[in-house]
Chain A
């Protein structure tokens, strides 16, 4: 089952070439890769890892391995893992009572190995597509779907502890990763080159957020401070009051900062904390503008809608609240009947829906106007960590990406709730996934950041890429209606391999 996968990973040749130029000694770097992902990347994928190893200017292998081990076993204590595990415990009691109900329908509850075999349909399909272009082209051209087909390209090492959050800048050129090792790192999204390490926090960093212009970065940490960083200089933002003086960190929260979001204009920063409040900051003046008495448990996720008039926050108390940015009033509260802890929340690209990540292995799409759940996405594993995900758009079709506690990344079709792709991400928990067009990036407990690139099927690559794009939406509909036929096709492909 793993063989097509590995082969597929080998298919994009251009990357290899570029990579070798940078790589000083591919062989030497391989251990880190093995540490990163021993099982899935065993033989041919080592190339992937070699590239990654060569590219990332990681400290040293020893260091890295150290960090990895630490984050895995011993030091749960520092920052990152503490709050998250705490959130787990608070919710644990709740979910336990209802667990029989959830465990059965959701395959995520099953161990990863079985899970994989259970959902071979979607994963295999996407893999085989890229793997065996010729036969498939003849078989399926009319029904070919604009499916996401993300392939691992780079593994970025450098963080010495688990990476809690990773975000691609709005212009798609940079990646920011926040880690339990109290640093934030900025990477070039195209080459994976390490650009900067932002040092200043006294404890693990749980969250980062980009301003819309991609020039400023905010990071929130367990030291209760939010810092603003200049992406260009890699230094804290400076104020003009006294030339060159660094802007003081934004202080005010009484406990760990857990989530951050910038408004679409970049003038307001919203932060959610373990002190159960949501703060809105005036970014320009670095001043606390409004504090919302939001929840009765740590605020675990926060987001702005596209026009900036609404803020959504969620908490492990199971509530999702929608706030009016200008008045600070709660406009709507969403709560599921089972009241599972909510660990992350984001608005849909058009701002009409809210996607909530629940600790009962479900992701729910809420219509916040009617206050009802429109879709439930299942198949991943999320019981104890505040893992994250987002919406992605490929060829005008939206999908939902989420990390999973078994280290995978799952992509669902928004409408049909089908798993479109399952990508192996990390060893241990995969905490976060962010998608920007054809680039996807994940953060793992193993201290690495992985970058993926959507690989078009070779048919599309050979010139008619634009055509397929225009066809895409219709085909998406088709897929929703004809899942069975799709399955048939996929099985054939596998056979032909």
Chain B
């Protein structure tokens, strides 16, 4: 709604300076929700923290993992959040209650698990040294189906020796990253050998595969439109691809093409990239650099480097671009702080004094015909009232997207969160003495977490129940 009044500071659509830092424990993973009002961060100690971007404060803390969080994924409605940790499990959190909705255990640590774009009971998980899984948790007992990693080959009439060789190669193919297409009909998976597979989510068959790079594919991202794919791999090159339309009714797998659009790399410094992200519209690509403090932002139209953000004295890990605003969040690898870059809009001074207008250059003022005519006050007042014949609509909301937003889930406001995070890192030993919490100790937090969650439950119960009379 503020966009009606402030259109000019949207001129620059990539962040230019660091505007704030927030910290709650040591963050390792970040993810914005779809509307961009909350930022989830996963911590080294396994806690998942949800930040409210409007207040830059913690909205919710959820404890349940006991190992470092590796990935986070929001449901479309914003009510569910899927987190995976190095501890061989994934938890789907219900943010309404702040409790775990479902928990799924794997036979290996998970690199990532991404929720289906429309169905929060379905997700794809890529595991360490294991085949990726498609997990359906709509039933009380979760259903795990194994997805293939071995690339699709042209039909094999070839000899046995070749087949064996291929089988050996295929056994080494491990999916390291798997994401959904925008429609949720297909899964795009990247392997440890630089292969990219497109998997049909219904048949679980690879319908297309191509070797796109030589290194391990570490990160894959698609734009919200679902037309562009961003791939980061260990060969120090970031690639963008055009995703073909996979939704056509009679899709012939053999005709699929995945054209390479850009390669972003730093040829001089031979930098490799920690993490990459698309901007809100996909117009820009941002990356954090390995062993370096800068964030690089490229513009995709021409493939040119737009800016380097270099404020913090720290190497940045995961970076995330806000889904609608020119705002970047990144977490520092050493301190686990979350840094936020954005644009600072200048105050429009004419907004403060309505009888002034800002003009680019001098304008000769044209006097209105009746501007200095003198009328009786009543006359003026009457004329004003008569002029108010316009039809006003005070009810119908702007049809753009507001209705959708209102239907969305609203996160409960919790008053029982500590405002700082000293509680997380320091333990009271006795009166007046504190000591820093040792790293492994956070696991003992589980019971404490349950305790602190108790008032939450109570609150939720009270909402459902009838108002008590005192």
Contact = CB atoms under 8 A, between A and B. Distances in A.
Interface string A321-360: 1101111011111110000000000001111110000000
A63 to B, nearest CB: 20
A284 B58 contact: yes
Interface stretch (B232-240, B272-280, B349-357): B349-357
Interface in A214-256: 215-216, 228, 231-232, 234, 237-241, 247
Interface in A372-423: 373-376, 391, 393, 396, 398, 414-415, 417
A88 interface: no
Interface residues of B, number: 63
A101 B398 contact: no
Interface stretch (B219-227, B301-309, B384-392): B384-392
Given A284-B419, A289-B56, A308-B54, 18 more contacts: A195-B467, A247-B415, A282-B57, A284-B59, A284-B413, A307-B402, A310-B5, A329-B348, A330-B348, A349-B394, A351-B397, A353-B394, A365-B392, A368-B5, A374-B388, A374-B390, A376-B384, A414-B394
B392 A415 contact: yes
A285 interface: yes
Interface stretch (A128-136, A262-270, A432-440): A262-270
Interface centre among A174, A267, A368 (most CB of B within 10 A): A267
B105 interface: no
B253 interface: no
Contact of A417 (B388, B402, B463): B388
Interface stretch (B112-120, B199-207, B281-289, B404-412): B404-412
A14 interface: no
A315 interface: no
A306 interface: yes
Contact of A188 (B37, B402, B413, B469): B469
A86 B58 CA distance: 40
Contact of B417 (A284, A309, A329): A284
A374 B393 CA distance: 11
Given A332-B5, A368-B5, A352 B394 contact: yes
A188 B468 CA distance: 10
Interface in B298-350: 345, 347-348
A478 interface: no
A213 to B, nearest CB: 6
B5 A331 contact: yes
B345 A350 contact: no
Interface of A: 98, 100-102, 104-105, 173-174, 188, 193, 195-196, 211-213, 215-216, 228, 231-232, 234, 237-241, 247, 263, 265-268, 282-287, 289, 305-310, 321-322, 324-327, 329-335, 348-353, 365, 367-369, 371, 373-376, 391, 393, 396, 398, 414-415, 417
Contacts of B384: 373, 376
Interface string B428-470: 0000000000000000000000001001000100110001111
Contacts of B413: 211, 213, 216, 265-267, 283-284
Contact of A267 (B54, B347, B452): B54
Nearest to A228: B415
Contacts of A369: 4-5
Contacts of B393: 350, 352
B414 A306 contact: no
B259 interface: no
B381 A350 contact: no
Contacts of B410: 212-213, 265-266
B154 interface: no
Contacts of A327: 345
B161 interface: no
A194 B396 CA distance: 36
Contact of B55 (A267, A324, A376): A267
Contacts of A193: 469
Contacts of B3: 309
Given A265-B54, A265-B410, A332-B5, A104 B378 contact: yes
A101 B380 contact: yes
A471 B394 CA distance: 19
B140 interface: no
Given A283-B415, A308-B54, A374 B392 contact: yes
A335 B378 CA distance: 19
Nearest to B354: A333
A415 to B, nearest CB: 6
B107 to A, nearest CB: 37
Interface of B: 1-6, 37, 52, 54-59, 345, 347-348, 351-355, 376-378, 380-382, 384-385, 388, 390-398, 402, 405-406, 410-419, 423, 452, 455, 459, 462-463, 467-470
Nearest to A480: B391
B418 A213 contact: no
Contacts of B347: 329-330
Nearest to A399: B394
Contacts of A188: 467, 469
Nearest to B417: A284
Contacts of B392: 353, 365, 367, 374-375, 414-415
Contacts of B55: 267-268, 282-285, 289
B1 A307 contact: yes
B416 A238 contact: yes
A240 B416 CA distance: 4
B101 to A, nearest CB: 20
Contact of B354 (A195, A211, A335, A374): A335
Contacts of A332: 5, 351, 354
A284 B354 contact: no
A374 B59 CA distance: 40
A101 B468 contact: no
A415 B390 CA distance: 8
Contacts of A325: 2, 54
Contacts of A391: 394
Contact of A324 (B6, B355, B377): B6
10 contacts: A213-B412, A267-B413, A268-B54, A287-B419, A289-B56, A310-B2, A310-B5, A324-B5, A349-B395, A398-B395
Nearest to B6: A331
Contacts of A231: 467
Given A373-B384, A374-B388, A326 B54 contact: yes
Given A286-B419, A307-B405, A396-B395, A334 B354 contact: yes
A325 B1 CA distance: 11
Contacts of B402: 306-307
A285 B57 contact: yes
A212 to B, nearest CB: 7
B467 to A, nearest CB: 6
Contacts of B4: 352, 369
A326 B20 CA distance: 13
A239 B462 contact: no
A163 B348 CA distance: 40
Contacts of A374: 388, 390, 392
A310 B1 contact: yes
Contacts of B398: 350-352
Contact of B351 (A287, A333, A415): A333
Nearest to A307: B1
A179 B19 CA distance: 42
A7 B388 CA distance: 37
Nearest to A333: B354
Contacts of B423: 241
